[in-house]
Structure 1
Amino acid sequence: MRARLASVRRRDLAVDVCLVVASMVVGVLFAWQLRGVVDSHMAVDLALGGVSCLALFARRRFPVAVAVVAVVLSAVALGAVGASLAATFSVAIRRQWPTVAWIGALGLVATLVNEWLYPPDIPWAAAALIGSMGTALAVGCGRLVLARRQLVAELTERARRAEADQQERLLAARRQERMSLAHEMHDVLAHRMSLLSVHAGALEFSPGASQEEITRAAGVIRSGAHQMLVDLRAIIGLLREERADDETAPPQPALTELGYLIDESRAAGARVSFSFQVVDAEDAPTMTARTIYRIVQEGLTNARKHAPGQPVAVAVSGQAGRGVSVEIHQPLADGQGAEIPGAGLGIIGLFERVTLAGGRLEHGPRRTGEYELRAWLPWETA
């Protein structure tokens, strides 16, 4: 920041020096008309012109005061004409139009007085017109520079706002991705942990279990814990900020893998009936297949949590053009058995997933005494 400020100051000083030198050159050229007059008169004229030119160094802080001094002196001193034009140009850049207008009018009056005091070799009217055009040119160039600066500032501000908006969109996308990963972690880990809880509970409440049953339950717990670590590692891997171009995303669950979920639940002792009637299931859209998979996974997890030991019916059907429907039915809990605690985020996450996929989700108890989870996901034809 300090280096930038120093660079700006050096640039402003260079511009001021060049403007003062140019104003002095113009003043000397105008004062050259007095070469036939008394030498002291020319010396006074050049002195007043020099004072006007040196005053230009203060034009950034006091543009109006410097302009008034330079314009008034230009009325009686030819050497101050250049400084008068430069000061008028500076006011046109830094002040609003009313101030610029009366400074310009003062410059026109000074021009007429100057032409009357120092009659030129050309007609007075032509000389006055030329002087007036010089003042108008200084004002016009100043307003043009001001308009350009305002345009550059506006474009810079737009670029800054666009960059800020882009950063905000990136942050929002990252927050959304983190929420999606949290839901993904909940769906996967809650399913695995509920299976482990069921088998551990069977060992706890079955002290007379045979060695074979204990060995089988311990094997399921070990396998489930290992699979849970694999799933956790896969999900945590998605949290990395960058992914190499040749690095592929982990495979997403498909409709054809629903049988594995059913088998896992049955292996845990759940009574699950499964109906699968999806035509060309392997061709289902990725988002639809993944969402259906998570719905079934969440439904089975909730069944183990809230109605352990009760039969569960899962039905999935659909085809391209009609969409995919999933229904999960289970009897309402009778208060027996220990429920696995939950955070209540599963259904919320399902609602978000289904809405994002363009589908519908319904859930809740029915008059038949069952709890129903029903969803429909679109499957557009090619």
Structure 2
Amino acid sequence: MDELGAPERRRWQEVLLLVAVLAETVVSALLAGSWVGLLQSAAIGAGGVALLWRHRHWHWMLPVLLVLNAFAWSIVLLVIVPYAYATRSPRRLPTFLVAVLTALSGLAPLTWTELGDDHLVGATGAALTVLIVAASAATGMYTATRRMLLAQLRQRAEQAESGQAVAQDQARRAERTRIAREMHDIVAHKISLVALQAGALEVNPSLDREQVQQSAALIRETATTALSELREVLGVLRGDGEEAPLAPQPTWEDVRRLVVTSQEAGISVELFDFIDDPVPDPLARTVYRVVQEGLTNIHKHALHTRARVALIGEPGTDLVVEISNVLPKGFTTDLPGARMGLSGIETRVTHAGGTITSGPTDDGRFEVKAVIPWPTAP
């Protein structure tokens, strides 16, 4: 039989087999009335011991033992051989032929012993032999089929468990990536504003007390907002509340507020808002993340350049978002970059059915442009 569903070798079965062979050998030797009977007893013992190697050499050894059993006339061989062959052979025809050979080896002694002279005893012995062989072979085939079925079910269960483990691992990786992007969206923009405002205080020591207080208040407000939003995300990760949102849920007004906050922080950015219709919240959240990432990059890499944010569209068409700035010359920043921002908003926009591009333009600007479908309200 193939490895799938192959019989296992158990010690208690081997011990039980040896006990049965020993008992049959001793009984046969005690009943032997001549040297032929003793030879039969020896053949029974040898055949029984040979059965211990049936797991490895069953293809040729079991048929050979049947030929030997034509002389030994062992009940153990008559029962074990067809059963062992049936549990190992993947095909039914060889099993049937071995069963026939077993029956013939069991009927052969009736033709040359005194039992064959009595027709009643001979017929009874033949019927009993055929019945034993048939029952043994049928039991073996049933056992083989059952083992194969259980092995297949076990294999499928292992494959399903393995597939589930892979799916869970992929889900964990995707969730970690989503959380990292969410943390980037929440923290990077606010922290860049804090760094920007603190830098303005550092390079302008001549500011009066009122201006310093305004800048400090703006820094405190920005940091407090960032901390609050971060606490919401961490609360979800800890499972503090089933009703907690997975992330802060910005609206369309928050998109405009992003530009205002950057203007208050000293960034030269203009807002061109041509949106007159109410924007659905899911679309507003996507636009919010795009504008947030674009302004965050301007805070980091184009601090002293002029920038603009353009919002154009109407229901039933596309909502176009453009964030651009004049390419800076020789400007560097010490603010770290997670290198996940553009990738994150690209995933968001693509998931919403839109497209996004980023890069330098012919007029000397760096532009991030997203085109997102704006479905008509039902």
TM-score calculated relative to the size of structure 1: 0.76
CA contact (8 A) 1:278 1:324 kept: no
User: Following TM superposition, by how much is the alpha carbon of 1:374 offset from its aligned partner in structure 2, in angstroms?
Assistant: 0.9
* Preserved CA contact (<8 Å) 2:48 2:76: no
Given candidates 106, 109, 114, the residue that maps to 1:114 is 109
Q: Return 5+ residue gaps in structure 1 as ranges.
A: 1-7, 32-37
The separation in 2 between residues aligned to 1:192 and 1:48, in whole angstroms, is 94
Instruction: State the alpha-carbon separation in 2 of the partners of residues 180 and 20 from structure 1.
Output: 66
Structural RMSD (CA): 4.1
1:293 is displaced (CA, Å) by 0.9
Q: Which residue of 1 aligns with 2:4?
A: none
Q: Would you say 1:351 and 2:350 are equivalent positions?
A: no
Written as runs of structure 1 = structure 2, the 5 A alignment for 1:330-349 is 330-335=325-330, 339=333, 341-343=335-337, 344-349=339-344
CA shift, 1:251, in A, is 3.8
Unpaired segments of 5 or more residues in structure 2?
1-7
> Distance in 1 between the 2:47 and 2:241 partners?
64
Aligned-partner Cα distance in 2 for 1:257–1:361: 21
**Counterparts of 2:39 and 2:274, CA distance in 1:** 105
Residue 23 to residue 144, structure 1, CA distance change in 2 (3 Å): farther
Closer/same/farther in 2, CA of residues 280 and 45 from structure 1, 3 Å limit:
farther
| d(CA) in 2 for partners of 1:374, 1:62 | 71
Distance 1:112 1:83, change over 3 A: closer
Equivalences for 1:41-60 in 2 at 5 Å? 51=45, 55=49, 58=52
Deviations 1:214-248 (A, max 9, x none): 121122222222222223333334444x6765555
Structure 1 range deviating more: 83-92 or 198-207: 83-92
* CA distance 1:351–1:139, shift in 2 (3 Å): same
Distance verdict in 2 for CA 1:86–1:76, change over 3 Å:
same
Q: CA deviation at 1:131?
A: 4.5
Instruction: Classify 1:108/1:243 alpha carbon distance in 2 versus 1 (closer, same or farther; 3 Å).
Output: farther
- Per-residue CA distance 1:232-277 (angstroms, 9 max, x = gap): 333334444x676555544422333212212211211223332151
Whole-Å Cα distance in 1 between the matches of residues 46 and 224 of structure 2? 88
Q: Is 2:152 aligned against 1:157? A: no
Contact residue 24 and residue 53 of structure 1 kept, 8 A: no
In the alignment, which residue of structure 2 is the partner of 1:13? 12
Query: C-alpha deviations, 1:47-71, integer Å up to 9, x for none?
Result: 6798489659836656749846863
Give the partner amino acid of 1:195. L
| In structure 2, C-alpha distance between the alignment counterparts of 1:178 and 1:247, rounded to whole Å | 18
| Shift, 1:106, TM fit | 4.4
1:249-260 correspondence runs (5 A): 249-260=246-257
Call closer, same or farther: CA 1:61–1:352 in 2, change over 3 Å. same
Change (3 A) 1:352 1:116: same
Specify whether residues 160 and 110 from structure 1 end up closer, same or farther in structure 2 by C-alpha distance, changes over 3 A only.
same
Report the count of equivalent residues: 358
Conservation of the 8 A alpha-carbon contact between 1:277 and 1:317: yes
Contact 2:232 2:248 in 1 (8 A): no
Alpha carbons of structure 1 residues 133 and 318: separation in structure 2 relative to 1, 3 Å: farther
User: Match of 1:183, as an amino acid?
Assistant: R
Give the letter aligned to residue 314 of structure 1. V
Q: 2:209 aligned with 1:215, yes or no?
A: no
Residue 175 of structure 1 and its aligned partner are, at CA, apart by 0.9
Map 1:46-195 onto structure 2 (within 5 A): 51=45, 55=49, 58=52, 61=55, 64=58, 67=62, 71-72=66-67, 74-78=69-73, 80-94=74-88, 103-104=98-99, 106-117=101-112, 118-119=115-116, 121=119, 131=129, 135=133, 138-195=136-193
Alignment of 1:209-288 (within 5 A): 209-240=207-238, 245=242, 248-274=245-271, 275-277=273-275, 279-281=277-279, 283-285=280-282, 288=283
C-alpha displacement at 1:207, in angstroms?
1.7
- For residues 288-312 of structure 1, the C-alpha deviation after alignment (integer angstroms, 9 at most, x for no partner) is 3322111100111122223224333
Look up the match of 1:198. Answer: 196
Which stretch of the first structure deviates more once superposed, 230-239 or 264-273?
230-239
Q: Identity over aligned residues, as a percent?
A: 31
Amino acid at match of 1:154: Q
What per-residue deviation string (whole Å, max 9, x for no partner) do you get for residues 294-331 of structure 1? 11001111222232243332222444432432112322
CA contact under 8 A between 1:63 and 1:87: conserved in structure 2? no
Cα distance in 2 for partners of 1:333, 1:182 equals 29
Give the letter aligned to residue 234 of structure 1: E
| TM-score normalised according to structure 2 size | 0.76
The one-letter code of the counterpart of 2:80 is A
Q: Deviations over 1:82-125 (max 9, x none)?
A: 53222221132135659857754642441342231242625989
Cα 1:203/1:154, change in 2 over 3 Å: same
Distance 1:323 1:128 in 2: 90
CA distance in 1, matches of 2:45, 2:98: 19
Give distance in 1, aligned partners of 2:335 and 2:181.
17
The CA distance in 2 between the partners of 1:347 and 1:96, in whole Å, is 59
User: CA, structure 1 residues 367+74, in 2 after alignment: closer, same or farther (shift >3 Å)?
Assistant: closer
Alignment match, 1:5 = none
